[in-house]
Amino acid sequence: MTCRELVDRLGAELEGLLSAPEREAVDGHLAVCPPCRVFREKYQATVAIARAAGARETEDPDAARLAREILAARERG
């Protein structure tokens, strides 16, 4: 699984909607990719804040920056 594929599946992963093979792929990627682990933690925190705020738009600047870095790294190969 690539970083981009992980990012694409985070919403479903956090909602418990992934199949067993998809979940294993996510877990495997997280085991070897520290930036994606950090991104997932920031993503979870952002979702929790948004839900707590009544689903008002909330942006975590660190999460947004990390997302850009992950996508840039993906494009570099």
Evaluate if residue 11 carries a pLDDT over 70: yes
Q: Domain residues for 15?
A: 3-76
CA–CA distances in Å: residue 43 to residues 39, 69, 76, 77: 6, 14, 23, 23
- Comparing CA positions, the residue from 61, 33, 30 lying closest to residue 45 is 61
CB atoms within 10 A of CB 68: 10
> Given this model, what pLDDT does residue 76 score?
81
CA 20, 77, 10, 39 torsion-angle sign: positive
Mean pLDDT of 55-67: 66
Q: How much of the chain, in percent, has pLDDT values that exceed 90?
A: 51
| pLDDT (tens digit per residue) in 38-51 | 999 999 998 888 77
Pair 29, 1: CB distance under 8 Å: yes
> Given this model, what pLDDT does residue 66 score?
80
Q: How much of the chain, in percent, has pLDDT values that exceed 70?
A: 88
Structural domains in the chain (count): 1
